[in-house]
């Protein structure tokens, strides 16, 4: 008795998983014919094709992706690395990426580095191991991007630019957005404007400070270092630090919060100390989240097309996958100022 007979008649000895071989046998053809019939390439007689398809259905056949990847040149996988999925910004980014990629038939492998460069590298290595066709990164450093680029994996950096050559990027025009926000405050009559931010080492943060400074300069206002608070990314006593900053910042009539995280902090602190917004202090945020139109008064904010940025990044990546030789491009998306109630002319 050959081993093929094993289990015949045995109660429910389910075959672990139907393979192309099983389908071919059931349909009475060779494996390659079955492959062609299912894959739709090459010539296969119509009636055979039908027979194979039926056999495949009957057996619940699902082609093995690993085998395909091993054999072929594409894994159908794209890596996505974000800094913090709990932050709505990244969640929306991920949604945009997923949307475009899944529509194109790719699977998204998600990794969250929690802002840690070491974890980012681990993620990159994993993407490499699974032969990801491409990777989207919101990097925390150069290392992950470099590793990937060295191994000739197409990379698109999203929202941040590490400066590594050989990758595409899509980002928001931080400088422009910040400048628009601060110009709006200046137009209302504010003269002493504070900026609160949590990182200034990447292009994103740098750009926002540049935009802030540019607006002041253009209006002939002095840029005091006392008006800049960089909280840093390491989670610490940010609330308290902000409180002390505001205590010291006498004369300040408006605050520019450089992203949604610090905007939340600023809003809470201002509310806590009963500084009326906008009567005693105007607030404008870079990044427009749902809650900002839910609170009273609504928060004036620079709206970034975050979902679109993710989906555009994915498109850029797909182009690269289709045509590796294309020259690298950086796409810059324009944000837009949405004026709500949190900004008004200063009382004095």
Partner DNA sequence: CTGTTAGCGCATTCAG
Partner DNA sequence: CTGAATGCGCTAACAG
Residues in contact with DNA by CB under 7 A are 17, 19-21, 29-33, 35-36, 38-39, 41-45, 48, 61, 63-64, 67-68, 70-72
Give whichever of 64 and 240 is closer to a copy of itself, judged by the CB atom.
64
Tell me how far CA of residue 176 lies from CA of 173, 286, 335, in angstroms.
5, 11, 8
Q: Which of 1, 4, 12, 14 binds a copy of itself (CB under 8 A)?
A: 14
CA distance 211 to 208: 5
CA angle at 38 for the pair 33 and 44, rounded to the nearest 5° = 45
Give whichever of 60 and 222 is closer to DNA, judged by the CB atom.
60
Query: Closest distance between DNA and the C-beta of residue 137, in Å?
Result: 24
Give whichever of 109 and 188 is closer to a copy of itself, judged by the CB atom.
109
Q: Which of 22, 59, 69, 219 binds a copy of itself (CB under 8 A)?
A: 69
CA distance 56 to 20: 8
Q: Does 99 participate in binding a copy of itself (rule CB under 8 A)?
A: yes
Q: Does 304 participate in binding a copy of itself (rule CB under 8 A)?
A: no
In this chain, which stretch among 27-35, 76-84, 137-145, 317-325 interacts with a copy of itself, using CB under 8 A?
76-84
Q: Does 345 participate in binding a copy of itself (rule CB under 8 A)?
A: no
Query: Closest distance between DNA and the C-beta of residue 148, in Å?
Result: 17
Burial class (CB in 10 A: 0-12, 13-18, 19+), 303: middle
Tell me how far CA of residue 85 lies from CA of 49, 80, 89, 91, 258, in angstroms.
45, 11, 8, 5, 19
Bridge pairing between strands 336-338 and 300-303: antiparallel
**Closest by CA position to 260, among listed 196, 214, 184:** 196
Query: Closest distance between a copy of itself and the C-beta of residue 276, in Å?
Result: 12
Tell me how far CA of residue 294 lies from CA of 238, 260, 288, 289, 290, in angstroms.
24, 14, 11, 9, 7
Q: Which of residues 261-280 bind a copy of itself (CB under 8 A)?
A: 264, 267-268, 271
Residue that has been written with the tokens 């209302």 in this structure: 188
CA distance 113 to 139: 9
Q: Which of 25, 48, 59, 107 binds a copy of itself (CB under 8 A)?
A: 107
Query: Closest distance between DNA and the C-beta of residue 26, in Å?
Result: 12
Tell me how far CA of residue 341 lies from CA of 22, 126, 195, 296, 313, in angstroms.
67, 46, 19, 8, 33
Peptide bond into 278 cis (omega under 30): yes
Give whichever of 12 and 71 is closer to DNA, judged by the CB atom.
71
Q: Does 128 participate in binding a copy of itself (rule CB under 8 A)?
A: yes
Query: Closest distance between a copy of itself and the C-beta of residue 5, in Å?
Result: 22
Give whichever of 27 and 262 is closer to DNA, judged by the CB atom.
27
Q: Does 31 participate in binding a copy of itself (rule CB under 8 A)?
A: no
Query: Closest distance between DNA and the C-beta of residue 151, in Å?
Result: 13
For 331-341, b/e burial (b = at least 16 CB within 10 A) is: eebebebbebb
Give whichever of 192 and 264 is closer to a copy of itself, judged by the CB atom.
264
Q: Does 10 participate in binding a copy of itself (rule CB under 8 A)?
A: no
In this chain, which stretch among 72-80, 223-231, 312-320, 334-342 interacts with a copy of itself, using CB under 8 A?
72-80
Q: Is 155 helix (H, G, I), strand (E, B) or coil?
A: strand
Tell me how far CA of residue 115 lies from CA of 46, 172, 234, 263, in angstroms.
55, 19, 9, 19
In this chain, which stretch among 24-32, 176-184, 233-241, 286-294 interacts with a copy of itself, using CB under 8 A?
286-294
Residues near a copy of itself (CB under 8 A) are 14, 16-17, 60, 62-67, 69-70, 75, 77, 80, 84-86, 88, 91-92, 94-95, 98-99, 102, 107-112, 119, 125-126, 128-131, 150-152, 264, 267-268, 271, 290-291, 294-296, 307
């Amino acid at each position: 008795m050959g081993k093929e007979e094993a289990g015949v008649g045995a109660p429910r000895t389910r075959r672990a998983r139907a393979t192309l071989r099983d389908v071919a046998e059931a349909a009475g053809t060779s494996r390659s014919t079955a492959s062609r019939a299912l894959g739709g390439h090459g010539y296969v007689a119509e009636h055979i094709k039908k027979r194979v398809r039926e056999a495949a259905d009957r057996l619940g056949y699902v082609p093995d992706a690993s085998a395909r990847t091993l054999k072929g040149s594409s894994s159908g996988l794209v890596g996505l690395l974000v800094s913090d999925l709990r932050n709505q910004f990244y969640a929306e980014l991920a949604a945009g990426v997923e949307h475009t990629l899944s529509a194109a038939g790719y699977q998204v492998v998600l990794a969250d580095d929690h802002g840690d460069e070491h974890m980012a590298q681990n993620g990159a290595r994993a993407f490499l191991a699974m032969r990801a066709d491409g990777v989207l990164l919101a990097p925390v450093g150069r290392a992950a991007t470099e590793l990937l680029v060295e191994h000739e994996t197409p990379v698109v950096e999203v929202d941040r630019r590490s400066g590594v050559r050989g990758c595409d990027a899509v980002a928001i025009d931080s400088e422009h957005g910040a400048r628009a926000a601060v110009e709006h405050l200046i137009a209302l009559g504010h003269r002493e404007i504070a900026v609160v931010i949590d990182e200034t080492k990447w292009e994103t943060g740098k750009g926002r400070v540049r935009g802030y400074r540019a607006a002041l300069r253009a209006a002939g206002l002095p840029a005091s270092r006392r008006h800049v608070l960089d909280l840093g990314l390491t989670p610490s006593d940010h609330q308290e630090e902000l409180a002390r900053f505001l205590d010291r910042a006498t004369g300040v009539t408006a605050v520019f919060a450089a992203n949604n995280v610090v905007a939340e902090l600023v809003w809470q602190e201002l509310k806590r100390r009963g500084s009326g917004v906008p009567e005693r202090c105007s607030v404008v945020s870079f990044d427009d989240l749902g809650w900002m139109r839910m609170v009273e008064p609504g928060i004036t904010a620079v709206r970034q097309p975050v979902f679109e940025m993710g989906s555009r990044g994915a498109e850029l990546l797909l182009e690269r996958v289709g045509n590796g030789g294309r020259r690298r491009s950086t796409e810059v998306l324009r944000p837009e100022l949405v004026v709500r109630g949190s900004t008004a002319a200063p009382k004095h």
